[in-house]
Structure 1
Amino acid sequence: MALTDSNVLKLAPDAPNPAYRSAPHNIEAEQSLLGAILVNNDAFYRVSDFLEPKHFFEPLHLTIYETAGSLIRMGKVATPVTLKTFLPAETDIGGMTIGQYLARLASEATTIINAQDYGRTVYDLALRRDLIHIGEDMVNVAFDAPVDFAPRAQIEDAERKLYELAETGRYDGGFQRFSQALTVAVDMAANAYKRDGKLSGIATGLRDLDTKMGGLQHSDLIVLAGRPGMGKTALATNIAYNIARAHHAEVQPDGTMKSVNGGIVGFFSCEMSAEQLATRILAEQTGIASSNIRRGGITELDFDKIRNHSIELQSLPLYVDETGGLSISQLTARARRLKRQKGLDLIVVDYIQLLQGSGKRSDNRVQEVTEITTSLKALAKELAVPIIALSQLSRQVESRDDKRPQLSDLRESGSIEQDADVVMFVYREEYYLTNKEPRPGTPEYAKWQLDMDLAHGKAEVIIAKQRHGPTGMVELQFEGQFTRFSDLAQDGHLPERTY
């Protein structure tokens, strides 16, 4: 239908003509800041740790700030006289030359005291412009998305850009007085004194391990490694369950909830499905072998026990992401989302070698793993939570007589060992002895039987690296049919059971 005067949309008489909205900016704040810098170069150092040239809206102001910064960093003085040499002389600013404009900036400058406030204003407006650009990109990509570009991928890409924007160039960082850090340290000690177990970190629920480590410390990257069959996933699952089960939160003065015991757990299970993970936890808690649960080889009493425990487990603050082939950027985005929506006190990643770098598939796997471990450590610091990242060990362990792992056995070990705050190995002598059973009736068999009796049901957690405490070994009880680690019975006392 052709448009005629009668069907053309007309604006109300008092409505303004439609026009493009100008991006958020404040030219006066930019001028005042630049003027303060030209009058007193110390003003530059009040803003230079967070304010970059790109944050200025006016291109000329960007050039002035960048040039002044270069002069000041070289130990020279940035004034209208010295600056105009490095700026295009033919520039016309409302009938003024560049020299006249610089002189006017300096003559109308505010005091250095206000420089930081003006700098924050300029930065915040730049942040809003960046938010607008991200929003425009989201709209444009959503309209013209390629066939193979999933909407979920766009959401994760947008989240990544938003968090990069939030974390880059923040002006709330920088130096702090030592007294502030000291106060935090004393508060941590006081909280540890009041907390169950007297631990500074989150209790794993394994007594001897907690004693050795002081619990899982906030912002730590804890690498848990072992050869296949050692039980590293079982140990990580046990710790995750113990922490989720012990969770208790209290309302803070600002109205937010804070975990005071245990914690909310995010478990990235890149290898096992959520159902397999749930089966393991059910087997551990009910004392019914996981193989029997899967095959249905259970009695009516067993089923009642499983049902009762499953009702209890439903309320656990344990969240599982079973997505395979996750990239480190996807994992980071999902962890941030969980922290924002539900809260988060511990992340478990099973395991490092199944993650991918954020870029295209790299032929250099060592470089890719370096990116992954560096990003995990950065995520632990950003969210202020411990991250337990499981890792494989190289096959060179199998070629040694003593098969206890060492730091050099970590696959792509350079970055893993360097970035980790704690490196722990799981080792079970019983696993290797079982595979070396001699012929019955021989002298070797008698010795093997003795060794098996000593090693049966025992596991070693070898703490090979720990920034905050001693290295060493902790012995645990391991029950393979229930995939359960527990405290080793000492002095004739049996460890507590939960069923």
Structure 2
Amino acid sequence: MNFNIAPPQSKEVEKDVLSVMCNRPELIVKVEEILHSECFYDPDYRFLFDIVFGIHLAGGEVSQSSILNKVVPSGKKDILATYQEMKKYFTSDTALWRNAMLLSELAVKRSMLTKSMQLLGAVEANEPIEKLDTLVNEASDIMTTRNRPIEGITFAHSLDELNRLIDRPETKLSGIDTGVKDLNDVTGGWQVDDSIVIAGRPGMGKSLCGCFHAYTAAKLGIPVAFVSLEMAKVKLTARIVSNVAHVSSSDMTKGRLAMNQKTIVRDTMRKIEQLPIYYYENRNSWDINDICLTLRNWKRKYGIQLIFIDYIQLIKDRTVRDSSDKTKVVTSVQEKLTHLKSSIGTPIIELAQLSRANESRGDKRPGLSDLKNSGQIEQDATVVIFLYRQDYYDATAAQERGEEFTPTNDLEYIFAKNRDGEMGTVLVKASMSQNRIWSLNDGSPP
């Protein structure tokens, strides 16, 4: 079997990127999350990149003298000629981002080529199927993680973070504002290292909560990614506008607004049109590997600081052999989301569907056993919240009796798991038609 395949590469693009790094080192920060040593195939270019990038990360000035100080001990003095070549070659920095992305993609392709050759070799050598399975999983990891190198974090750096927490004013949230004081009191806000699951049966308000909490963060200037596989983006947007304009989202999407309401809604839309919310909607791939790749890119491109998934059990995973086994799929999806959250430092709020088991009980408030295909979801989550509205059941019962029903607007956030905080129930008020949530102590909707 002939494996003589030329590795994907572009010496000219490597040269373009290095020339910008050497002539405009202040721009390195724009691509430092994309580039790493393996992006450069030419050994001299890779060596020069390592020197320039190392100086940059150390906070030093990228100059001929600083490079010389690194080159001389290595014995590779000819690299100075390469540096001079880069200084003379520089023409423009406009293509830096695009070229850096291209080099990253070429590095991934080279890694995939290497892994493919290993896989073909294993097949030719009649290796056990377990060996092939390992190689396939390693290839999948290359695609989902983009072959990024892992940097060590010093204990001293961790102590600095702890000091900042110790000195934080008692009233200041350590995480992202939930928008409801009573929830903030329990959670301290959505924490950067949290995987939060908000689960409920249909009609309990999962999408309402997702939209409300996403809007609360976005209005504070926090970029939010909303992965919606259940609901189209226009309906999500209608819910957010409804919350601000105090107009029914259903009336908006069904064209039932009076003229004065249309004026209010359009004025509201103009006020909030710059909210940093980015939708990944259900017309895109439902595969977790594609979703994670997109969210990594959005982290670099938009600075995403909070992610919503609506909802977790709808996501697929092409790397799971038996896709009909929903528990295996959800387990794999959850593991990849947990890794994503940790690698990009962004809290993920996963909306989840519950099984029907609680419907047969007298007290229909859910528990951890009611999570559908839940093993890994419960295990990896730092916070599990169940949503419960007694109004939903009382309204149905009143309708069956032919009676009028006056809602209480009570919404329960039931904390079934809270690794670093209190358990129990937080009772809030919620307007299902106007997509708003507020604390009991506030009295009426804000």
Match of 1:164 in 2: 145
Match of 1:404 in 2: 365
Aligned partners of 1:462 and 1:472 also within 8 Å: yes
Shift of 1:21: 10
> In structure 2, which of residues 418, 431, 439 is the aligned counterpart of residue 479 of structure 1?
431
Matches within 5 A, 1:283-432: 283-324=242-283, 326-359=286-319, 360=321, 362-432=323-393
Shift of 1:281: 1.2
Q: CA, structure 1 residues 188+301, in 2 after alignment: closer, same or farther (shift >3 Å)?
A: same
**Is structure 2 residue 208 aligned with structure 1 residue 231?**
no
Match of 1:69 in 2: none
Matches within 5 A, 1:421-460: 421-437=382-398, 456-460=408-412
2 CA distance for matches of 1:474 and 1:487?
Answer: 9
- Encode CA deviations 1:354-374: one digit per residue, 9 max, x unaligned: 100132552221111101111
Q: Give the partner amino acid of 2:145.
A: E
Aligned partners of 2:231 and 2:282 also within 8 Å: no
Q: Give the partner amino acid of 1:301.
A: N
Q: Give the partner amino acid of 1:432.
A: Y
> In structure 2, which of residues 87, 106, 110 is the aligned counterpart of residue 133 of structure 1?
110
Aligned partners of 2:144 and 2:289 also within 8 Å: no
1 CA distance for matches of 2:363 and 2:431?
Answer: 23
Matches within 5 A, 1:17-416: 130-131=107-108, 133=110, 161=142, 164-167=145-148, 170=149, 172-173=151-152, 176-177=154-155, 179-190=156-167, 192-193=168-169, 198-247=172-221, 263-324=222-283, 326-359=286-319, 360=321, 362-416=323-377
How many aligned positions are there? 327
- Encode CA deviations 1:116-139: one digit per residue, 9 max, x unaligned: xxxxxxxxxxx99955625989xx
Shift of 1:299: 2.0
Q: Give the partner amino acid of 2:264.
A: K
Aligned partners of 1:220 and 1:377 also within 8 Å: no
Shift of 1:243: 0.4
Q: CA, structure 1 residues 129+395, in 2 after alignment: closer, same or farther (shift >3 Å)?
A: closer
- Encode CA deviations 1:348-399: one digit per residue, 9 max, x unaligned: 0000111001325522211111011111111111111110001110100101
Aligned partners of 1:219 and 1:382 also within 8 Å: no
- Encode CA deviations 1:457-490: one digit per residue, 9 max, x unaligned: 11100011011111111111111211222222x2
SS of alignment partner, residue 226 of structure 2: strand
Q: Give the partner amino acid of 1:172.
A: E
Aligned partners of 2:108 and 2:147 also within 8 Å: no
Q: Give the partner amino acid of 2:229.
A: C
1 CA distance for matches of 2:343 and 2:384?
Answer: 20
Q: Give the partner amino acid of 1:409.
A: D
Aligned partners of 2:177 and 2:217 also within 8 Å: yes
1 CA distance for matches of 2:438 and 2:234?
Answer: 23
2 CA distance for matches of 1:301 and 1:264?
Answer: 32
SS of alignment partner, residue 210 of structure 2: helix
Q: Give the partner amino acid of 1:458.
A: D
Q: Give the partner amino acid of 1:164.
A: T
Q: CA, structure 1 residues 133+487, in 2 after alignment: closer, same or farther (shift >3 Å)?
A: same
Shift of 1:274: 0.7
Between the aligned residues of both structures, percent identity stands at: 33
- Encode CA deviations 1:226-264: one digit per residue, 9 max, x unaligned: 0000001101110000100111xxxxxxxxxxxxxxx11
Q: Give the partner amino acid of 1:494.
A: G
Aligned partners of 2:428 and 2:438 also within 8 Å: yes
1 CA distance for matches of 2:322 and 2:401?
Answer: 52
Q: CA, structure 1 residues 398+374, in 2 after alignment: closer, same or farther (shift >3 Å)?
A: same
SS of alignment partner, residue 378 of structure 2: helix
SS of alignment partner, residue 303 of structure 1: helix
2 CA distance for matches of 1:361 and 1:22?
Answer: 33
SS of alignment partner, residue 481 of structure 1: coil
Q: CA, structure 1 residues 165+434, in 2 after alignment: closer, same or farther (shift >3 Å)?
A: closer
SS of alignment partner, residue 486 of structure 1: strand
Structure 2 segments unaligned to the other structure (5+ residues)? 1-5, 11-42, 44-72, 75-103, 115-138
Aligned partners of 1:219 and 1:383 also within 8 Å: no
SS of alignment partner, residue 329 of structure 2: helix
SS of alignment partner, residue 482 of structure 1: coil
Shift of 1:313: 1.8
SS of alignment partner, residue 433 of structure 2: helix
1 CA distance for matches of 2:312 and 2:197?
Answer: 9
Aligned partners of 1:219 and 1:384 also within 8 Å: yes
Match of 1:84 in 2: none
2 CA distance for matches of 1:135 and 1:21?
Answer: 10
Q: CA, structure 1 residues 439+135, in 2 after alignment: closer, same or farther (shift >3 Å)?
A: closer
Structure 2 length-normalised TM: 0.66
Q: CA, structure 1 residues 479+218, in 2 after alignment: closer, same or farther (shift >3 Å)?
A: same
SS of alignment partner, residue 213 of structure 2: helix
Structure 1 length-normalised TM: 0.60
Q: CA, structure 1 residues 353+134, in 2 after alignment: closer, same or farther (shift >3 Å)?
A: same
Q: Give the partner amino acid of 2:410.
A: K
2 CA distance for matches of 1:182 and 1:395?
Answer: 46
1 CA distance for matches of 2:307 and 2:328?
Answer: 23
Structure 1 segments unaligned to the other structure (5+ residues)? 1-19, 25-56, 58-112, 115-126, 138-157, 248-262
Shift of 1:165: 4.5
2 CA distance for matches of 1:322 and 1:303?
Answer: 26
Aligned partners of 1:222 and 1:388 also within 8 Å: yes
Aligned partners of 1:391 and 1:410 also within 8 Å: yes
